[in-house]
């Protein structure tokens, strides 16, 4: 692990923050402010993005001007605790279809919902549910909710354990899983539990505490996810079909109420071990793999936003091994909520304080 603070120079000029070390130099340019916890940013084109605000609103951002326009606000959003309007993702096979995850108000307690809507410039219509997950809980915690697509157009999204550890090893509900479905909500015929009467057919992997970042590497056809541990033990996992990732039987974190480790052990036969563990926790919020030319030092690396430790985490991939390589923007002091790549190969971050910022190499 490299400590970055000693190697960085910080300059504040004309709304641009600059960071540099011996081999890397980046600046942060503020594009927009005043948003209400911008949980997700997705790009329509190089000049337009749609953003989810956790309070329940979907807005449109004109990037050159920084102007924000309200698009849509679902009526059944549970915007409390860690819940609210969460991830957004355009269907790569239909650029007008926007997928949305959010926590839904319900008499049984909030649960994670996958919905879709039709986007055209300045409007969002045809809002409908695609999958109402069986993940109800009386807590406002651990909704997961990140979305990603693979090369075949299959949709994956994450669901946390909903604050109930027993869900981790219970495949009769969707909590503590990553699900895989088709864009219309149907279940692919090659899902691992499709013929298992004791498991839900949508489940792709299970044993997850709260995965809030998920990315698919189209070059290597690898699915990666990053999840919150308890007190210590955040994990990045290589997600494979039908695998059990251990929560709460295995964990690298401690109990909140004392020095005891969670679970029976850190590793166990039959449970997939994490590819990278963070102790202390960084509180991960998002994950992408960068493939591009504008930031050559970051090409082929995983990038994760951090909330608690307020930085951008850079991870090198060495076969199936992951190596934490850098911590960028530590001195910014911002909870980084999302990181995404624009069509013109710029990286953007959103922060819980309501900012959208462009990373300039």
Considering 24, 129, 136, 142, which one is annotated as catalytic?
Answer: 142
| Nearest of 45, 15, 40 to residue 27 by alpha carbon | 15
Half-sphere exposure of 212 (CA within 13 A, CB side): 27
Q: Which of 10, 45, 210 is nearest to 119 (CA)?
A: 45
- Residue from 342, 339, 293, 287 nearest 317 by CA: 287
- The two counts, helices (H) then strands (E), for the chain are 0, 26
Contacts with 347 (C-beta within 8 Å, 6 or more apart), sequence order: 290, 294, 295, 298, 303, 339, 340, 341, 358, 359
Q: Which residue has the tokens 């304080």?
A: 353
Sign of the torsion angle spanned by Cα atoms 149, 147, 221, 314:
positive
Whether 198 contacts 277, CB under 8 Å = no
Left (φ > 0), alpha (ψ -120 to 50) or beta: where does 185 sit? left
Say how many residues make up the chain.
361
**Distance separating alpha carbons of residues 235 and 281, to the nearest angstrom:** 9
Which residue in this structure is represented by tokens 């996992």? 237
Question: Residue 165 and residue 178: Cα distance in Å, rounded?
Answer: 16
- Helical segments of the chain, H only: none
Q: Coil, strand, or helix at residue 167?
A: helix
208 is catalytic: no
Rounded-to-integer distance, Cα 12 and Cα 6, Å: 17
Name the residues annotated as catalytic: 142
């Amino acid at each position: 692990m490299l400590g970055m603070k000693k190697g960085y120079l910080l300059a504040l000029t004309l709304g641009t923050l600059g960071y540099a070390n011996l081999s890397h130099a980046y600046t942060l340019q503020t594009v927009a402010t005043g948003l209400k916890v911008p949980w997700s940013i997705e790009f329509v084109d190089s000049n337009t993005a749609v953003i989810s605000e956790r309070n329940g609103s979907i807005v449109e951002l004109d990037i050159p001007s920084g102007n924000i326009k309200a698009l849509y606000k679902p009526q059944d959003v549970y915007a409390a605790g860690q819940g609210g309007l969460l991830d957004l993702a355009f269907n790569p096979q239909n650029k007008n279809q926007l997928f949305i995850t959010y926590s839904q108000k319900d008499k049984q307690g909030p649960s994670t919902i996958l919905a879709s809507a039709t986007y055209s410039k300045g409007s969002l219509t045809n809002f409908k549910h695609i999958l109402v997950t069986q993940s109800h809980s009386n807590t406002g915690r651990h909704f997961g909710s990140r979305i990603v697509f693979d090369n075949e157009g299959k949709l994956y999204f994450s669901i946390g354990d909903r604050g109930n550890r027993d869900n981790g090893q219970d495949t009769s509900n969707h909590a503590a899983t990553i699900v895989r479905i088709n864009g219309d909500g149907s279940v692919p015929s090659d899902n691992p539990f499709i013929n298992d009467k004791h498991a839900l057919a949508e489940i792709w992997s299970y044993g997850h505490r709260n995965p809030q970042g998920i990315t698919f590497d189209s070059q290597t056809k690898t699915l990666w996810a990053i999840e919150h541990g308890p007190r210590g033990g955040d994990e990045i996992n290589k997600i494979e079909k039908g695998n059990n990732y251990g929560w709460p039987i295995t964990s690298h974190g401690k109990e909140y109420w004392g020095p005891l480790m969670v679970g029976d052990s850190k590793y166990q036969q039959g449970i997939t071990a994490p590819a990278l563990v963070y102790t202390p926790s960084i509180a991960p919020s998002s994950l992408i793999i960068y493939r591009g030319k504008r930031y050559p030092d970051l090409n082929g690396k995983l990038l994760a936003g951090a909330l608690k430790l307020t930085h951008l985490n850079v991870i090198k991939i060495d076969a199936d091994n992951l190596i934490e390589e850098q911590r960028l923007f530590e001195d910014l002091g911002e909870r980084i909520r999302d990181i995404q790549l624009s069509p013109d190969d710029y990286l953007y971050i959103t922060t819980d304080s309501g900012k959208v910022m462009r990373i300039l190499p």
